[in-house]
Amino acid sequence: MNKLGFVRDLDNNLSVQNISVNYLVKKYGTPLFIYDSKIIETTYQKINKAIKPVNGKIHYAVKANDNLGLIKFISELGSGADVVSIGELQKCLKVGMDPKKIIFSGVGKDVNEIEYAISKNIKQINIESKEELVDIIDITTKLKKNANIALRVNLDINAQTHKKISTGDENSKFGISFKDVPDIYNIVTNSEYLTPFGLAVHIGSQIFNYKIFAKAYKQLKNLAKNLIENGFPVKYLDLGGGFGVDYKNILINDFKELKKITTNLFINENFDISVEPGRSLVANSGILITKIIRTKLTKKKNFLIVDAGMNNLIRPTLYNAFHEIIPLSLNNDRECEQVDIVGPICETGDFFALNRKIQKMYKNEFLAIMSAGAYGSVMKSNYNTRPDASEVFIYNNKDYLLKKKHSVEKIINSEIIPKI
């Protein structure tokens, strides 16, 4: 594990920024998400350094973790945002982010969301279809207000990642086919209230093969140059996110490959480059602490049944994703055993790890599910009428509550029994 972030103290207990995680568990209960500001900041600086030669800008993909406190922290590091809903947009504005640093992406922005974004004068809207463009032309004409438009291009590229997070091939719902780009760019250019800004691409998430990024960026650049040769203005190239995270070794990416690719392609060009990292910025900054409710031994299996479930972290069952899981207190005197670490939800798919080797653990002890900072709490649900988890931020050696978990009463009270 990295020295940075979640480390063992002298007593072999997990700690972060000199705060014992045991202390946080006592203070806030479980399940509990804990985020380390230092990992986010270090990662942010590495991405920033990687795109510095091309003067690139970071737009944090808020969908990875949309907790207000995290957005504010990342915004204060200098980041803009990539949002995909009015809710995410409102969150960014609430923490004081400059609207001129916000990009609105997404395949299903509804008319109200588009109107809202335009009224807030955000930096740009990345459109994903001709049909969306028709809506935007109607809205800007009605409001007599300008909007900056980029086209998210579908380059028909296989991102070689899990199919549920692969967005770059022509069978996916995302983006405008590269073949249609000239025609649609032409419509944007000739629309009274629209400013043609540029092109965007995002081929998927958790991608490790940087040759694929290189291929996509090169195609995007060529497309942009073709448009320019045909007299269209193309200033902004948004390269999206998708940079893979090492969930096994929990190492921070050095983004050297990103630097190499972007420098090679864009150093002597006249484009404004931006990237939209989500996962790679926050995944390793977060852990999910869970308590062992009980152990269960059957003829076939040894289960650790914990108080967090797929309603708190759905990645293992949704994507077959691997998360390192470690005891909060390491005891080298204990034997290792093979266990299934499962939640309390009534689904066989409610697991965090299957056939995993871990030191012998007992009832009421705690586990840390590592790398839970991205696509964790954002995908929470109240399935089985179970509450979500509290979330805590560690900054400057102090702990700050970001979100208190809802009580069961609150969940129940949000529903209405009709008088029929």
Ligand X SMILES: Cc1ncc(COP(=O)(O)O)c(C=O)c1O
Q: Smallest gap, in angstroms, from Cβ of residue 79 to ligand X?
A: 13
253 binds ligand X (CB under 6 A): no
* Number of residues forming the site for ligand X (CB under 6 A): 16
Encoded one letter per residue, x for contact with ligand X by CB under 6 A and - for no contact, window 104-123 reads: -x------------------
Q: Six-digit token pair at 76?
A: 């204060």
Give whichever of 7 and 379 is closer to ligand X, judged by the CB atom.
379
CA atoms of 408 and 386, how far apart (whole Å): 7
Query: Binding to ligand X by residue 376, rule CB under 6 A?
Result: no
Q: Is 26 exposed, middle or buried (0-12, 13-18, 19+ CB in 10 A)?
A: exposed
Q: Which two tokens stand for residue 180?
A: 């249609």
**Shortest spacing between CB 29 and ligand X, in angstroms:** 29
Residue with tokens 């009980």: 294
Segment interacting with ligand X (CB under 6 A) among 28-36, 59-67, 222-230, 323-331: 59-67
The residue among 140 and 205 lying less far from ligand X, judged by its C-beta, is 205
Question: C-beta of 258: minimal distance to ligand X in Å?
Answer: 11
Q: Which of residues 265-324 bind ligand X (CB under 6 A)?
A: 276-280
d(CA 318, CA 130): 31
User: Is 46 or 279 the residue whose CB approaches ligand X more closely?
Assistant: 279
**Of 128 and 307, CB closest to ligand X:** 128
Q: What's the rounded Cα separation, in Å, for the pair 261 and 267? A: 10
Q: 362 φ, ψ to 5°?
A: -125, 165
CB-CB contact of 241 with 165 (8 Å) = no
Contact residue for ligand X among 32, 61, 97, 367 (CB under 6 A): 61
- Segment interacting with ligand X (CB under 6 A) among 88-96, 234-242, 319-327, 357-365: 234-242
Sole binder of ligand X in the list 40, 67, 79, 82 (CB under 6 A): 82
- Span interacting with ligand X, options 89-97, 127-135, 239-247, 407-415, rule CB under 6 A: 239-247
Task: Round to whole Å and give the CA distance between 313 and 177.
Answer: 34
CB atoms within 10 A of CB 235: 16
How many Cβ atoms sit within 10 Å of the Cβ of residue 194?
21
CB nearer ligand X, residue 281 or residue 341: 281
Helix axes 130-143, 111-119, angle to 10 degrees: 50
Write down the catalytic residue from 10, 297, 346, 417.
Answer: 346
240/286 with CB nearer ligand X: 240
Which residues in 142-165 are b (16+ Cβ under 10 Å) and which e? eeeeebbbbbbbbbbbebebeeeb
Q: State which of residues 5, 69, 80, 241 lies at the interface with ligand X (CB under 6 A).
A: 241
Number of separate helices (H) and strands (E) present in the chain: 12, 21
CA dist., res. 22 & res. 39, Å (int): 20
Q: Which one of 34, 64, 133, 157 is in contact with ligand X (CB under 6 A)?
A: 64
Q: Provide, rounded to whole angstroms, the least separation between the CB of residue 128 and ligand X.
A: 9
Hey, what are 218's tokens? Answer: 């090169």
Smallest gap from residue 362 Cβ to ligand X (A): 36
For the question of residue 346 being annotated catalytic, the response is: yes
Residue of 64, 65, 93 lying closest to 80 (CA atoms): 93
In the Cβ-directed half-sphere of 125, how many Cα atoms lie within 13 Å?
Answer: 32
202 binding ligand X? (CB under 6 A): yes
Query: Closest approach of Cβ 276 to ligand X, in Å?
Result: 4
CA-closest candidate to residue 82, choices 287, 261, 376, 279: 279
Q: Residue 238 or 391: which CB sits closer to ligand X?
A: 238
Catalytic residue numbers? Answer: 346
Which residues of the shown chain bind ligand X in the complex (CB under 6 A)? 61, 63-64, 82, 105, 202, 205, 240-243, 276-280
